[in-house]
Chains A and B, each alone.
Chain A
Amino acid sequence: MPQIDDAPEAPAAAGVDNAVSVRGVSKTYGEVEALKDLSLDFPRGQLTSLLGPSGCGKTTLLKIIAGLLEPNSGEIEVNGQPVTGPGPDRAFVFQDFALLPWASVVRNVAFGLELRGVAKPEREEVAQKYISDVGLGGFENAYPHELSGGMRQRVGLARALSVDAQVLLMDEPFSAVDEQTRRKFQEDLLSLVQNENKTFIFVTHSIEEAVYVSDQIAILLPRPSRVLEIIKPSGFRHKGADTIRRDTEYLDIVDRIWASLRSYVE
């Protein structure tokens, strides 16, 4: 009996299968020290949230993992390979959407595939699927300035999903959508994590959201940022989507995170 119980724990305990690992990364912008000696592992097939006060360097860490920024020291490995720049194994959802204003929704969503040289009919078919998935069917030919903030964010989400990368770097992907859509997206995200063997790195400001969607939560300290604590909610993951929010472990973890963060807010 104990052996059966221990079995699922074994790989995590040995710490072998990390899709992404960050080792001793520091980053300064001129005088500003954004990250200092930060180390963190991202287990494959799981969703890890980065939770921390505004300006603590979450976007910076994500961009370093994406290969868009060079750290001053430390190293990043994705699938055991050191990161030297952007790669096809990672896709980014930008905090400020970064949609091309002169391109229609379809072209924006298909842009990643366009850059990979996928033929137009093929890439538009893929784009079409993800546009419907994020609930933007009918807006294929609209331009970004004709969309609301939440709709723009969903275009950015669809663009990242359409390149089918193993690691998804999501910088506050739900910050501009309304509460109903947000809850729906959180549920969609949970089933995405479950059904696809992708690794998600997810930045959020919302403690509840982090606890709701994450397999692992990394709480970051304010600048210069390091990992204060890693929390792994596990007890309620198998329960139904609607009962999680009433689960006692869920509520306990939310309280615990708030307790450790509140001293930095005051």
Chain B
Amino acid sequence: MLKRSILLKLLSAAIVFGAWEIAGRIPVSYAFPTFLESMSALITLTLEGTIFTAYAETLKPLVVGVIISAVLGIGLGLWIGLSAKFDWLFSPIFIVMQSAPLAALIPLLVMAYGIGLTSKVFVVCIMAMPVIVLNTSGAVRNTPSVFKEMARSFLASERDIIFKVIIPAASPIIFSGLRLGISAGFIGAILSELKITPTGVGDIITYSRSIADYPSMYAAIFSIILLAVLFLNVLEKLENYLFEGNNRGYASD
């Protein structure tokens, strides 16, 4: 079974890359390189070390932003989910945040926090946090009441109910919020580098576009997607490890 799922993943990757290669060869646009050209550009960037220095730059706001979003987002989400008052107070903020046009907010952020790391972290958080908060609070509020009732009948304290019932019961949806939030955080990190100051991977994209080195540009984009996919897989492993019984054998892949 495990072998088969790996095979299927390889097959779907082969189909996507094959389509990319064909589209590049037609070509659909003079600015669209083939898959192989992009890969060789990626290898060059790797050998030169450019990609590593770029990620050293890009990962800073990404990691800081994602950690803040995860910790604060889950914390706030629990709080909002557990108390009706905070739901009233905070939920609207995150719903607005989730639907706000980020590009319009960036100039405001730059005005307030300058063009440094802070603004970029903010962009990552604005992208990542709302879905984490909203998923967490929704999942907490929808914990099946039979579980809470059962725990109470066996003398659980409020604390036990939160840590031994509500959080484990909510964990699949909290984790799916984390996955969505972290993907959005990756987008936020790149967006901030394109819109605020070109640094890191955003710099490779901007620079190689300006000199019409499209393979390098796509190589950079490809690398960020690859990193996101790898990271999400690690997260899924962690989830399965922590809450094994919640995985009913049809977990997404």
Contact = CB atoms under 8 A, between A and B. Distances in A.
B150 A102 contact: no
**Interface residues of chain B: helix, strand, loop or mixed (majority):** helix
Contacts of A116: 154-155
B154 A68 contact: no
A68 B149 CA distance: 7
B243 interface: yes
A61 to B, nearest CB: 14
B156 interface: yes
A100 B154 contact: no
B17 interface: no
A86 B243 contact: no
Contacts of B149: 63, 68, 94, 98
B4 interface: no
A228 B117 CA distance: 75
B246 interface: yes
B171 A102 contact: yes
A88 B156 CA distance: 11
Interface string A112-140: 10111000000000000000000000000
A256 interface: no
A71 interface: no
A145 B248 contact: yes
Given A100-B168, A115-B160, A66 B153 contact: yes
B151 interface: yes
A92 interface: yes
Nearest to A114: B164
A136 to B, nearest CB: 16
Contacts of A96: 146
A66 B165 CA distance: 19
A63 to B, nearest CB: 8
Nearest to A98: B150
A25 interface: no
A12 interface: no
B146 to A, nearest CB: 5
A67 B149 CA distance: 10
B130 to A, nearest CB: 26
A147 to B, nearest CB: 11
A261 interface: no
Given A102-B246, A103-B245, A115 B168 contact: no
Interface residues of B, number: 23
Given A68-B149, A94-B150, A96-B146, A102 B245 contact: yes
A144 interface: yes
B121 to A, nearest CB: 34
Contact of A102 (B157, B160, B244): B244
B147 interface: yes
Interface in B84-117: none
Contact of A145 (B150, B151, B155, B245): B245
Given A115-B160, A163-B154, A100 B146 contact: no
Interface string B121-152: 00000000000000000000000001101111
A160 to B, nearest CB: 9
A10 B147 CA distance: 43
A182 B146 CA distance: 24
A91 interface: yes
Given A101-B245, A102-B245, A86 B146 contact: no
A143 interface: yes
Which among A115, A116, A143, A145 has the highest number of chain B CB atoms within 10 Å?
A: A115
A86 B171 CA distance: 27
A92 B147 CA distance: 13
- 7 shortest A-B CB distances, which residue pairs? A98-B150, A143-B245, A112-B154, A102-B245, A92-B153, A98-B146, A102-B246
Given A63-B149, A92-B150, A92-B154, 8 more contacts: A68-B149, A90-B153, A100-B165, A100-B169, A101-B246, A102-B169, A103-B168, A112-B155
Interface of B: 146-147, 149-157, 160, 164-165, 168-169, 171, 243-246, 248-249
17 contacts: A66-B153, A68-B152, A86-B155, A87-B155, A91-B154, A92-B153, A92-B154, A94-B149, A94-B150, A101-B248, A102-B169, A111-B154, A115-B157, A115-B160, A143-B245, A144-B245, A159-B154
